[in-house]
Structure 1
Amino acid sequence: MAKAKTMFATQEGPANALALNKDCSQVVIAGRNVFKVFNINAEEFVENCNLRVGKNINLNFSCNDVVWNTFDDSILATAATNGAVVVWNLNKPTRSKQEHVFNDHRRTVNKVSFHPTEAVWLISGSQDGTMKCFDLRIKEATRTFISKTESVRDVQFSPHQMHTFSAVAENGNVQLWDLRKPDRCLSQFTAHSGPVFACDWHPEMCWLATASRDKTIKVWDLTSKPSLEYTIPTIASVGHIKWRPQRKHHIASCALVVDCSVNIWDIRRPYIAFASFNEHQDVATGVAWRGDPHILLSTSKDFTLYQHVFKDAARPESKANPQGISFNSKGDMSFSCKININPATLSKLPALLRKTPLHSDQFCQVTSSMHTFVSKAQKEVKCFLECAKRYQLSGKPLAELCDHNAAVAKQLGRHQVSLVWGIVKTLYCTTNTSKVADMQQTPSGKDSRDDPNITPGANSEAHNGTDGRHTDKTDKGDTNGVILSEDNDTETDEAEQQDQNLTTIATGLAINQGDFFFGDGAEGEMDQLHVDYEQMNTFDMMQQDWTLPSEAFNLRHEIEDRSPPPEQFPNHCSVDMIDVTPPEESNLILPLINVSGLPRMSLFDPSEVVASALNRHAESSDVQTAASVLLVLGEKRAAHIEECKQETWLLGYLELLGRHKLWNTATKVIKLSWLPSIHQLNQQSTTLPTNCASCSRPLRRSGWQCDNCHHPCGKCAVCNELVKGIYSWCQGCSHGGHLAHMQDWLAKHRSCPAGCGHACEYD
């Protein structure tokens, strides 16, 4: 054979299949509008015979498949779209080369195949669900095999066992038959979740490859019981497959839609194609190896016939990223990265790594290092699940929600998170109005503002203790309770005297600005920080008397040695600079300082502090705390957090909840969300696919009858009537019925009411 090259031939129509003769010197292509034989030369395809000629060109010329006889180069067979199996003789002297037409099938024939050793045996698979074996010597169908499926898409004789052939069907099943036993198949197993379009026997191993609409190619070991050996995921439904000769682990495939390439897969590395031919502009419809592992022929819907040479194939693995990351169910992480090895050091590698392959086809030489990181986050996962289940996000005042969530976090050992909840409560929760009123009242029950003995603006909370602080003796259930001291009269006198003190006035303690409370000193944690912002807003500082007395106590006697006049002290202000009217009575003392106004204190905004804390938790992978605090704050949420970041936190939290199947908590988070993109997630419909209980085919539309077997669906296993309301079923055996009937039955029995023997449970 001369050195081959990549070449093509254009036709007047698309071809559905192609086949090679026994010495691979000729190729035949067949379709609905094309049926030709070509000689394969070194430089081009040369048309040898056009079989679509004659006076009566009918549907017998419309071909789904074509096959060449394994011994006689003049005999061809085609599968017609009208249900006919046609035998063609190229040596026939007339223009029409039809030898014989078998009209035994009632529907379209999808596949025909000659026996590899008995050239007179021809088998066909049809859309009518049957397979027929024809004997060319007597020109009739000698055996009929009924698959009991809707259609048979491919049939292939086994090269290892003379009387065995395989058949694949649209229901996803694979059947193995013995030619001598047409009454029933030898074995049957479900290979795919969708229709199986093609199968091919391995030329050396007892392997059967199957291709399906479910976008997978599977390799089954049929030495004994069928077992799945390899699975190749693809990007589209696979229509045709063919094992590569002289390469044990290589197989060619072409897709039905989307992918126009002819891909060569190494089943040992299934996630990326070993080689790819990208010459076609539309999906390929057939492939065949030209007896050489380096030459492949293919047809396509783009009206072309191609010969591909392996040296011109694209190598997708050479463009693949050698770096990758993966996680297992325990949270352990594996990471691989590329290592650039100097060729000089390659000779120093162990002999096992330098083993020369048996053939020239090699994988792309990439050396990677693998790093494995064992996760120690089992405790964190447990804490996450418990917090998600026990956190309260709504339904109570903010203070109670913070207290509850802080207690939950503290019980789980998350002290830092517990402290965050405590700080949120401290910063956002104000004192109850009724308790503020209680603290403003005198011990006798009168308001301090009505008592003339109490200086206006004095700190009413000084009545609770001589040191000006509350005595916070509260139990665990009431963190805001205040116990007043019993000796109220004494403390009131002391407070009044304190209001007259220069130090008290100068430091601003006369203004009820708020108190700071600290928790138990043994725990060392801040329990509560209270700032009464409302009272600060309502208090008018401008109306207070800020005139300071000259002394904090009355003089006992007249001072005889008076100080020199102010003129003698240049560092002091003169009397003329003091805008004070002399008092009429001699016993009053002139004030030294007169404050006409005091700037109003600005309110403290805690949102920036909370935003910083939540950002820190989110960056440390604790998105649960960030999202939960936002939900609890509600309208008080931090204004310094961008809306896009809030959306990211909520979506991340929902993803984690979904990963751990905490659907109720996820629904609650969606319901409490204030973002439209999150809140509308609850508006998405939920689809639950169902199958017919009789034929196991999917129910394509709503109704009470299966479109495939016309059997009524949704019957109650107890009363045997159609269920037109709420339907309850067992996920173990799929039997069910009316909700009330199933409840009554399972309350008294343990087995399924349908009689299948399954121990059903009602949850």
Structure 2
Amino acid sequence: MSGVRLEVQWSPVHPDKFITWGTEIFLYEVASLKDATKLACSKVSDTTAANLLATNSNHHYVKCVDIYPQPEPDILLAIGQANGKVVLTTFGPTAFDALGLTGKELVPRHARQCNTVAWNPVDSNLIAAGLDKYKADHSVLLWDVLKCPHHGDGRTGMPSVSYQHHAASQALELARPVAELGLSETAHSLAWFNTQSRSLIIGMNNKHLKLVDLRDSNKAVNSTPTKAVYGLVVDPHNDHQLASFVENQISVWDTRNFEKPVLTLIHSKPVIKVLWCPTRHNLLGSLLRDSTSLHLHDIQYTVVGNDEVEPFVQEQSVHPGTANNITSFSWHPTHENRLLTIALSGTITDYVVFERITINCSPNTEIVWTHGRWILKLINDKVAVFNSLDDILVIFKRRALNDYGLKPELWQNGDLAEEESLKNLWHWLYLSRSLVEDGSMRGVDSKLPGIRCVLKIDSNETDGSEMISKPWVDLGKSINTVRIYRSENREKAMQLCGWKFDKESSLTSFLDRLESEGLYTRAAAIAVFNMKLRKAIDILNRAALSQNKQQLPSNLNIVAMALSGFSDDRSSMWRELCLASRSRLSEPYLRATFAFLTAEADNYENVLNESGVAVEDRVAFACTFLSDVKLNEYLKQLTAKLTEEGDLAGILLTGTSSDGVQLLQRYLDVTRDVQSVSLLAVRVFPRELLLDSRVQNWIDSYRVLLDAWRLWNQRAHFDILLNACSPNDKAPQQIFVSCNFCGKSISAQMQGIIRNRGAYARLGATSQKLKMSSCPQCRKPLPRCAICLVHMGTPSGLQNNNSMNSNGRSSTANNKMAEFSSWFTFCQSCRHGGHAAHMTHWFREHSECPVTFCTCRCSSLDTAREAASIITHIARVQQ
């Protein structure tokens, strides 16, 4: 079939059948792979196969084909040939034989090529054919296939003998079309409108489009000059919109404004076919010559006021998966975004276009996206895959449900953090607060001080450190010593770092705890930093025998052997070999250990800059071995570095200060963890820092997040913690009953009058129940009860019915809430209401509002029966 163009077309009424044609016409049926058992089937996708049902090879020089558009069990084809004939044919015996349609030939008066043929989608007995130019003939012929009498009987489908002579005598009359258009013109393409059965659009003479109403075929309804006269297609969703092409240009037209195309699409290659998608609005598919892909144009109209803005187009290229050039494609009539393609090699592909999807994430961490035109897919916490999503909102919500940040003890919140840095921070905050509360931080003006605050670095009030020469006790008669520095503030700083080793037993217990946690290299390094070389060797030897060998370096026993050969001689071979091999060690604590043992002239840069060593250990080491000047310089540099990185370990240095706010803001910028920074601020920051605009922004954002998740309980506890930071600040009243006329709070005015009446009662005035029928501010009457028609005025809340007891003091035993039956009750829809007891009684027997002419069914707006039972229960309890 080289040199012959292959075409493919879905049946418009059979969702599982399609045809292909070139020199022959083939009929296929699509089935799932498991059902495709015939030998003539071929795989067209990963899930479907095409079974060859029939072949029609009786017609040659086929130029165009169209399928009968009405739902019939069989397929009827209209074939346009090179000689201008339009032949109706089927695949074997069908129901169309009885109608005399099979084999019918519609022949023009003069032979010329048939360029296009199309069934009318509404009046399916009409068929239009577009022909080449002939100077004395028309190029568009309209045929009514049912006006011809039967060519045979209804039983056999064969011509009857008695009818043959009569049919031959009327052959010339039967062959005449019902309408003719385009005298001495060429019809390159044509298309019917989907809802206007007598309207036709024709591309003629390579120079204009004609819109014709066949009720008056002598006059074109509308026309426009253009060279884009090929491949005319009408949008199945919009009769006003059509498309055509010429060379590498596609034109989209609107028949209501036919002077010029509303959109022009330019391609790099000539266009050979365009088709509107029948299942998607405004989606146009196009195929270019010598291309292995299809181009999709999603045309979006925008209307501003009464003016139409130029359409916006989203373009997409899809590759059905064939390596050969595609020669044709066809959209499925009903399955969304499904199409068939046929390649030059004859390969057929059944393909579904996966569109760009819109993904939205709700505040409740629900993810929803579009799946086609009619389906939305959702993932929420009820789906198993949801828990595997590494989404920060999922983590936030899980923490909030576990009361993260709300636990009474700070260290308990660290255990819920699910992150090592957060866990260490909460535990350090608990340690710092404990040291302040037990008096270990006397003289420090902060409830949660940092290292810089304790050492008074920012105030430049250092107390001067004492230098001490400490020998290596494990080296026997060693003459070399290590210089360390001691002061009261340094001791406090080391306590904040967890290095509180005032006794030998405290160091031993600390190292034992590290070993129990599997932190052998850290324990060995801290032992060396405290001049306990033999203890470090024992720790490494026990680590080599540990059961968790897969989590530890395999050469710990060799490292222990290397430590045992330590010599304080600066020119020894041991020191030379350690300097050469230190960088090959994988454990940062081991590298820091040998960096300390091989340091010269108190230069501990390799220890202090070892990033794998915990910040608290590096700071404690600096507080031990650095002079005051070097210590201050190092801590300032380390603070700046940790703040820039947003490392929470920097809170050890800043404490709860303005520098700590800056560090947390940087942490928020890096991680977006507004939950942790808000809870940390509320739990540990002093009141003056809570007033910082950045902190207020954190708190407001987290409150909004809790509200969006509807975690009202967690939000209430969060507000309680926030209010506890400012006990003198009372939250303003948020809900009150207001007057319809002046808008003032009626309840607030009542409370003031109640207090005055209470004062009068304490002076001996006669106490009486307070009743009001008007607004205390503007004196306008209050609404009436819809049942009893009495002005509502019994105040809700505490009634101060004071009386004098025998001692002359007011008795508070009679203070009680106002009777619930007298409370204000309103429908939130119609705004009618009355006393609670009256409304409850009314809605036990009625569903509509008691106000005349009001048809509001107040009781059906919510669970009224349950509400009524609750109201009745409350009333009984008060009685």
TM-score band by shorter chain is 0.3 to 0.5
Query: Which has the larger helix fraction?
Result: 2
What's the TM-score, normalizing by structure 1? 0.37
What's the TM-score, normalizing by structure 2? 0.32
